[in-house]
Chain A
């Protein structure tokens, strides 16, 4: 089945700097790659997603890039703010007929220090 690896496990950045989280996936048939943000004690919430027919997608200060050949995708957060502190999860949809099942990475704890 699909395997998703996520790095780094923790990331500490100064407010205003950029943060980058990288994920690799194993199943070349995967075609949907969402990113979820989970604040302490809260539920995971979708912040951005990308499909396999797109190389990059931006939404204000966050962007995601996808390299299908290398089977990796990354989350970029620019001009980080304290409210960006959270755990971020990448995920991949395992197969076109997977009933929407997602394989999640282990998560990255992002800490933004003022």
Chain B
């Protein structure tokens, strides 16, 4: 099993450009999440999905859009990149365990720089 994978690993954008980050998981997990990680601020939830065709806003959704057309994929889009979106982006997935608790498995991250 590859677990959770993300593409690309690195990207540099100019202000105003757009891009899509792809997250894929092969664990048949229902729930998927996009986080951004900035120094001293931990992991902040951007958007999440509780199943194919569903999405919901997290803590810091502005400037991002997401789609979950297939259960195994969760896409994060930046329509008009801004320098404030320079960050490391992590995707994660989880499923309800037998005890009802959810371990989140993270992807390797995408380092995005917006100039």
Binding site for B on A (CB under 8 A): 1, 6, 9, 32, 34, 42-46, 49, 51, 89, 93, 99-102, 104-107
Number of A-B contacts (CB under 8 A): 51
Task: Provide 29 A-B residue pairs closer than 8 Å at the C-beta atoms, listed in order of the A residue.
Answer: A1-B59, A6-B42, A9-B40, A32-B101, A32-B102, A34-B103, A34-B104, A42-B108, A43-B90, A43-B107, A43-B108, A44-B43, A44-B90, A44-B106, A45-B106, A46-B103, A49-B103, A51-B99, A89-B42, A93-B101, A93-B102, A99-B48, A99-B50, A100-B31, A100-B94, A100-B104, A101-B33, A104-B43, A105-B42
Please encode chain B, from 82 to 95, with 1 for each CB lying within 8 Å of some chain A CB and 0 for all others. Answer: 00000000100010
Given A44-B43, A101-B48, A51 and B103 contact (CB-CB distance below 8 Å) = no
Q: Is B45 among interface residues, defined by CB-CB distance under 8 A? A: yes
